[in-house]
Structure 1
Amino acid sequence: MDQWPTTEDIARAEDEIVLPELTEQTAYALGRRAVEAGLEQGLPIAVGVWRGERQLFHCALPGSTRDNNEWLRRKGRVVMRFERSSLYVARLCKDQGTSLAEKFALPSSRFAAAGGAVPLHVRGAGVVGWMGVSGLPQLEDHRFVMRILREHLDARR
């Protein structure tokens, strides 16, 4: 984990990603962009975009498994609980030598502090949802989602 970014670096990068809105169309555009990139690279991932408790987009690519869907949900619950990425919370727990279960009494059957789910900040509204990927090593999951979000915002400029 020493090669991972610090919590400060992770938070800074997350804070740079601010969407103007999170509509069904936005979720579809984000999800489609992730699916196209995943297919191009032959990645065995599941992709999800959520607004609050409502899933707006889901796609499981070839090679992904049922477990990837469950990992997505568990990582997403971490995002909605802490309003930070699941990687940030994983790094925070690692730095403090603890786990979600020990520090926050959160069951691992419902919460996963593992990279791959990123908060979706909307200008003027704060964190309203999350986007996640599962199927790669956790740091790669996180980087993939961050790249997709940056590409989406760059295309809008």
Structure 2
Amino acid sequence: MSHDDALLKELLQQEEEIQFTQFNNDMALELGLALLKEARTRSKPVAIDITRHGLQLFHFAMEGTAIDNGEWIRRKNNVVQRFGHSSFFVGRSLKQAGTTIEEKYLISPHEFAAHGGAFPLIIRGVGVVGTVTVSGLPQQEDHELVVGVLRQFLATTKDTITTK
């Protein structure tokens, strides 16, 4: 198995593992603040966005971010909404195939960014209902920040959330 194959398998496993039994507005606030705290701990300026069913539940842009981060969030979220997978998984899949999102799917890179940072908000037994997104770091770091905090969040809120 190549390195790319192993990475894609790992990214899919993350989506199987990181699922909620429910997700409400208060949880979005707690998760958003946890992402903010971790980004501050790392001294990394990012913009954070949590959306469920098209409704933005949490958004914060740290000092040092720019309007472009909001555009990256929008474009990454479009990828998750269209494909049902993390933006990093879609981007790495396209890279492995030697193509671009525009070439393969005939969609505009001005509207879709297959770069790491947007992770599907998945309700077990329901499917993808939204996104948890970070923008401001190199794409793999954006992805790892989201996944790491989601795992911590799931581990500390066992009474309302379960993992596989």
Q: What is the TM-score when the length of structure 2 is the normalising length?
A: 0.91
Report the equivalent of 1:53.
54
Report the equivalent of 2:162.
none
Displacement of 1:5: 5.4
Report the equivalent of 1:43.
44
Return closer, same or farther for 1:4/1:62 CA change in 2, 3 Å cut-off.
farther
Q: What is the TM-score when the length of structure 1 is the normalising length?
A: 0.95
Deviation track 1:93-143 (CA, whole Å, cap 9, x = no partner) reads 001100110000110111000000000111221110110000000000000
Distance 1:3 1:43 in 2: 27
Q: Which amino acid aligns with 2:91?
A: A
- After TM superposition, what 4+ stretches of structure 1 lie above 6 angstroms from structure 2? none
Q: Which amino acid aligns with 2:118?
A: A
Report the equivalent of 2:9.
8
Q: Is the 8 A contact 2:29 2:57 kept in 1?
A: yes
Q: Is the 8 A contact 1:38 1:61 kept in 2?
A: no
Report the equivalent of 1:33.
34
Distance 2:29 2:17 in 1: 21
List runs of 5+ in structure 2 lacking aligned partners.
159-164
Q: Is the 8 A contact 2:4 2:96 kept in 1?
A: no
Distance 2:129 2:146 in 1: 16
Task: Say which is worse superposed, 34-43 or 80-89, in terms of deviation.
Answer: 34-43
Return closer, same or farther for 1:5/1:147 CA change in 2, 3 Å cut-off.
farther
Displacement of 1:40: 2.2
Displacement of 1:31: 0.3
Report the equivalent of 2:79.
78
Distance 2:142 2:5 in 1: 13
Return closer, same or farther for 1:147/1:136 CA change in 2, 3 Å cut-off.
same
Equivalenced residue count is: 156
* Secondary structure, counterpart of 2:134 in structure 1: strand
Distance 1:109 1:26 in 2: 31
Task: Say which is worse superposed, 97-106 or 33-42, in terms of deviation.
Answer: 33-42
Return closer, same or farther for 1:65/1:13 CA change in 2, 3 Å cut-off.
same
Displacement of 1:153: 0.3
User: Once superposed, what is the RMSD of the aligned Cα atoms?
Assistant: 1.4
* Secondary structure, counterpart of 1:62 in structure 2: coil
